[in-house]
Structure 1
């Protein structure tokens, strides 16, 4: 999403669309609808294949709660892409920063969560809600 938005800015496609009469509101709504539809299809396939394989993350949790969580996640992802695209003017830099953010936050989150899982003073009931597929002894 970020690279798509920065590419449009870099190539001045939005300015060309404005010259043809498209206003800002419909431009952002069309982009939002496109990103939301794409992400929604991906999340639906993610849940379907995860359930078919039998992953406990999908089978133990209610689908309505998962739907709400994925809906919030999709919207936050789109808003973050819209916000971050305002800081970049080059697609290459936006791509590099996006990859660093995704990999860095994943590694940092896994590293910090690892200490909570191994810490015996941390309440295990919180972890069982946070990680339902993780079996706590």
Structure 2
């Protein structure tokens, strides 16, 4: 808006600012913009308009006035459940440390010739692998009951706010994948000690690499399919996304 009196010539406008993160910076920015606009207008007025319009207007004091108004925003509570947030990183440790245990039992029976003795006594390999698979899976279910029960008692949101069917399917499929992975890896070892050491190194490396990738990438973006071919990475990705949504209000 402008008025007709030369001595009071001014232009005013309103700027809407996002002040949710830093209101002090927004206020300083508005002041700086106002000073620059006024200085530019003064220079243009004195060097262009005054010579062109002639005398009688050189006494005017043109100004630009900047008004700022904050944009509305919703104030919400940020993460308050620290335990649920750290549960994202602790849960994979609890559920994957069975990998070296499963590998040790299979390799130990092969190393001590126990499996050969059972075969000599008439045991068929399909029954041996079936019993081994069922025993490992029952042990995994027992660990899951302890982990889930403890988490529910301490009211971790990853177990109290997530759809039970999603959790059930995730834990079930992970148990099957973990069991299969341990049997597959045990075929490459003849020493139970070596299998155990490699198993623990694989657990630590898988969790560290997976957490690093999940933290440093956009959780809403679809990860590379190659990343999900390794079953621990896929399971840790599921836990990370579930825990991230449950840990934020």
TM-score by length of 1: 0.87
Q: How do residues 24-43 of structure 1 correspond to structure 2 at under 5 angstroms?
A: 24-43=125-144
Match of 2:67 in 1: none
Match of 1:131 in 2: 244
Q: Give the Cα–Cα distance (whole angstroms) in 2 for the partners of residues 32 and 60 of structure 1.
A: 32
Q: Give the Cα–Cα distance (whole angstroms) in 2 for the partners of residues 11 and 23 of structure 1.
A: 18
Q: Give the Cα–Cα distance (whole angstroms) in 2 for the partners of residues 53 and 134 of structure 1.
A: 14
CA shift digits 1:84-137 (9 cap, x unpaired): 010000111111111111001111111111212xx5xx648xx7556333428x
- 1:60 lines up with 2:161 in the alignment: yes
CA shift digits 1:52-101 (9 cap, x unpaired): 11001001102221111111000000000110010000111111111111
Match of 1:90 in 2: 191
Aligned structure 1 segments of 4 or more residues deviating by more than 6 angstroms? none
More strand per residue: 2
CA shift digits 1:22-42 (9 cap, x unpaired): 110111111111111110111
Secondary structure of the equivalent of 1:50?
helix
**Aligned CA distance change for structure 1 residues 21 and 61 (closer, same or farther; 3 Å):** same
Q: Give the Cα–Cα distance (whole angstroms) in 2 for the partners of residues 75 and 108 of structure 1.
A: 22
Report the number of matched residues: 131
- 1:102 lines up with 2:215 in the alignment: no
Q: Bigger radius of gyration, 1 or 2?
A: 2
Unpaired segments of 5 or more residues in structure 2? 1-101, 222-239
**Aligned CA distance change for structure 1 residues 62 and 123 (closer, same or farther; 3 Å):** closer
More helix per residue: 1
Higher relative contact order (CA 8 A, sep 6+): 1
Unpaired segments of 5 or more residues in structure 1? none
